[in-house]
Structure 1
């Protein structure tokens, strides 16, 4: 048997094509060239979370996209978010021993027990399913029609009766003019609990620019309650690098007062791309450094510094002795605490 160590070689040697979706932060497709560079230890994983690369590896026999297979992978990463190759090699060896190159003859339920397979939560699962079917031009679930009908009737009751998969299928089809119009017309009328539920799907997709701008205007309403603010911000995840989002987050973070810890966590988990702006990153780091919530700084700083693009930005800021005074103090305490805990 050919000596294979990488996942993409395993897939290709079995006569299959594949695609990759990150499932750690937002359900977004990772280009194959980028994933192969990651596997070949030529670049860091782009969306690490808790020192782990969490992704859906989807594969299918060449020319047969009708019934794809999915492995929900959890591979450990090192401090710089590079692959720990021994773990990946271990998984590939387990698969080769159990299946050889016949990986299309068994479903995921029959994979040998191993520590590297773990399905995401139901919302992410629904979004992977929806995005994959849309990409491969496969029929959506039957629940999509129920959601379209619901939006058409503009009666925002009994939304709990609609399936999560139906909403996921609808949200990935917002480029469709009819669906987009129905959704945009209804979104701002939805009951608050319904918006909260949909936010955990919408955060994996990009809404229209017009809807994005309307959401920002709503966020600027000073009477907006905390939960509504959190839900609306999650809906803007796909627009994290937009100037208007930058201006809004700058306004939020540029305050002397402690910001809600949940809001700071959402920025880190879903809107992290906005923090590539040095000014915004400075404001954010100083906010978490000065926050009274115990353990918040260590959790969020550790999370951000693992993201390759932000890691470079953070280290660049720390090279300036006049920058990040509160962050330096918090870092010193964090390092000192870890040192004392081990001695």
Structure 2
């Protein structure tokens, strides 16, 4: 059997093409060059979370796009978010042992993998988004589930939405159907709250009409309800590097309120809106605020932030400035002491 150690080699050797989506944070395309360089140990994983690369590897026999296969994978990463070859090689070995190298030609039943620590389904919404992205990539026509959502949009009475599915909404939101964009632009924030709550976890992974982005930013700036603020922020997750959002976040994070009182906001910034932290002022106030949290919360958020390749260098630069981040330094020092104490 050919000596294969990477996932991309494995898939290519089986006669397949593939694509990759991050599913740990937002569902984001990872281009093949980036993924292959990550697997070859030449660059860090772009969107680590909880010291793992969580991604969907989608593959299909070349020329046969009617039935692609998906592996939802969680691979452990090292401290600099690089691949840990031993774990990845272990998964590749599991596949080769269970399926051989020609698995792409097998039936669905034959492609069943044995239980292993690397395959793990994300939440339902992310699975739906990945499925929708695949349908969009291969120009699939709408399913009955998606058509039901489109039919609902044609009704003047917007009360009858409870039988509509996450997959149906994901399909039409990802494919940017004109009808959907019209609804989003004109009346999204007027829809029933329960329907908004069903759509927001989908929208945070989607490309949005500019009108909705601008409206949502205005709503965010004028909203007083914390619950509603967080909902709007999730809708804007893919757009939170806009200056107006960064300015709003800086004001909220640097509030006098205790850090634990705004923990939900800090969690959303860390997991969904991390690109907003490219702003140096927001990054500083965020790090200083999470330093006020209990040690376990601080450690989780700090490790997640410094693991991101886009934030690692800016955070290290701030940490080296003796006049910056006084509380963060103490919290990091305590974290290292506690970690040293538990490992020795």
Q: Same fold (TM over 0.5)?
A: yes
Q: 1:333 deviation in Å? A: 2.1
Task: Work out the CA distance in 1 between the residues paired with 2:183 and 2:54.
Answer: 33
Residue in structure 1 matched with residue 296 of structure 2 by the alignment? 295
Q: 1:342 deviation in Å? A: 4.1
Q: How does 1:1-343 map to 2 (within 5 A)?
A: 1-104=1-104, 105-107=106-108, 110-174=112-176, 176-223=177-224, 225-259=225-259, 260-291=262-293, 293=294, 295-343=296-344
Q: 1:121 deviation in Å? A: 1.2
CA spacing shift, 1:295–1:155, aligned 2, 3 Å: farther
Q: 1:258 deviation in Å? A: 2.7
Aligned partner of residue 160 in structure 1, secondary structure: coil
Q: Check whether the contact 1:192–1:228 (CA below 8 A) recurs between aligned residues.
A: no
Q: Check whether the contact 2:11–2:18 (CA below 8 A) recurs between aligned residues.
A: yes
Aligned partner of residue 54 in structure 1, secondary structure: strand
CA spacing shift, 1:235–1:192, aligned 2, 3 Å: same
Aligned partner of residue 103 in structure 2, secondary structure: coil
Q: 1:341 deviation in Å? A: 3.6
Task: Work out the CA distance in 2 between the residues paired with 1:287 and 1:164.
Answer: 35
Q: 1:74 deviation in Å? A: 1.0
Q: Check whether the contact 2:27–2:130 (CA below 8 A) recurs between aligned residues.
A: yes
Task: Work out the CA distance in 1 between the residues paired with 2:79 and 2:339.
Answer: 15
Q: 1:160 deviation in Å? A: 2.2
Root-mean-square deviation (CA, aligned residues, Å) is: 1.6
Task: Work out the CA distance in 2 between the residues paired with 1:252 and 1:301.
Answer: 19
Q: Check whether the contact 1:134–1:140 (CA below 8 A) recurs between aligned residues.
A: no
Q: Check whether the contact 2:19–2:58 (CA below 8 A) recurs between aligned residues.
A: yes
CA spacing shift, 1:207–1:256, aligned 2, 3 Å: same
Instruction: Report the number of matched residues.
Output: 340
Q: 1:32 deviation in Å? A: 0.4
Task: Work out the CA distance in 1 between the residues paired with 2:208 and 2:219.
Answer: 15
Q: 1:152 deviation in Å? A: 2.1
Task: Work out the CA distance in 1 between the residues paired with 2:79 and 2:302.
Answer: 13
Task: Work out the CA distance in 1 between the residues paired with 2:340 and 2:100.
Answer: 46
Task: Work out the CA distance in 2 between the residues paired with 1:55 and 1:302.
Answer: 19
Q: 1:222 deviation in Å? A: 4.4
Is there any run of 5+ residues in structure 2 with no aligned partner, and where? none
